[in-house]
Amino acid sequence: MIGVLTYLIPNRNRLVTEKNIQHCFPNLNAQEQHKLIKNSLQETGKTLTEAAPMWQWNKDKLFSLIKNVKGEEQLQNAIANNKGIILALPHLGNWELLGLYCSANYPTTSMYQKPKVTQIEDIVKKGREHLGAKLVPADNTGVRAMLKALNNNELVCILPDQEPNTGTGLFAPFFKQEAYSMTLISRLAKKTKAEVILAYAIRLDSSKGYEIIFKSLPKMVDALADDSLYQSVEYLNAEIENSVRENPQQYQWSYKRFRTRPENKAQDTRIDFYNN
């Protein structure tokens, strides 16, 4: 219902979702784009209404919703090899459930940004930590904590598709658009030799629950061995894109992923996504 209302009534989330889908799926006709926009906003509504149960339900009740887990042996093998794991959790499906699943089963450190609505900060932080996660701030203190966790053969969770702070990222393709992308995951992997694994929790049809998927990203190591930070970020973006294309309606298209533009394209109205 929230998604339908968001689709029918003019608002920021609908505008941003429309702009992102129009630019990222130009091969779809207008009718197909509008269907994806509507479905995406409905999934955004689910993300909103799922949050409180994710933060408050106990482990058994939460995990009864998980009907299948694919690729978890990759995490176990990495831990057995004493590598440490960087888990890249894009805004796809229910990332809150995935973070809770990991923290309940493995020593987990997650990077945390304070919500814009400060009144719910305690609720969010306690909810994400209630199955054992250690949350660290998105600053140098947090980076040091993640380095320590990786050196202790633990797991760290990072949302890889958020725009980094100015001066800390680089531009790399995402759905054939230049996206200002974080280098943190690549830098951590290079410094610690940790394994990078992409992970997400997809909603199953007809409210049947969730499927958790883990995908190893071996080419991250190859790119970093060649000392190419750009190739590493480009590869990570491409793998995120491949996963999103499998379930495009469950990606958070309401986020201004392309807000920051390359300077030489700043006046190009074709890529002025959100202001025109």
pLDDT tens, N- to C-terminus, the chain (276 residues):
999 999 999 999 999 999 999 999 999 999 999 999 999 999 999 999 999 999 999 999 999 999 999 999 999 998 998 989 999 999 999 999 999 999 999 999 998 887 777 888 888 889 999 999 999 988 899 999 999 999 999 999 999 999 999 999 999 999 999 999 999 999 999 999 999 999 999 999 998 999 999 999 988 877 776 678 999 999 999 999 999 999 999 999 999 999 998 876 544 444 456 765
**Three-state secondary-structure class, residue 244:** helix
The confidence score (pLDDT) of residue 267 equals 46
* pLDDT tens, position by position, 219-251: 887 777 667 899 999 999 999 999 999 999 999
The confidence score (pLDDT) of residue 22 equals 95
In the numeric block, the tokens 């883990």 are attached to 214
* Contacting residues for 158 by C-beta, under 8 A, at least 6 apart: 86, 87, 88, 89, 110, 111, 146, 182, 184, 185
Gap between the Cα atoms of 37 and 23, Å rounded: 12
The confidence score (pLDDT) of residue 268 equals 47
CB-based burial label for 195 (10 Å; 0-12, 13-18, 19+): buried
What token pair was written down for 151?
């050196």
The confidence score (pLDDT) of residue 266 equals 47
Cβ atoms of 135 and 126 within 8 Å: the answer is no
Cβ atoms of 214 and 71 within 8 Å: the answer is yes
The confidence score (pLDDT) of residue 232 equals 93
* Contacting residues for 105 by C-beta, under 8 A, at least 6 apart: none
Cβ atoms of 211 and 94 within 8 Å: the answer is no
The confidence score (pLDDT) of residue 113 equals 83
Gap between the Cα atoms of 46 and 246, Å rounded: 18
Instruction: Kindly tell me the sign of the dihedral angle through the C-alpha atoms of 32, 23, 21, 231.
Output: positive
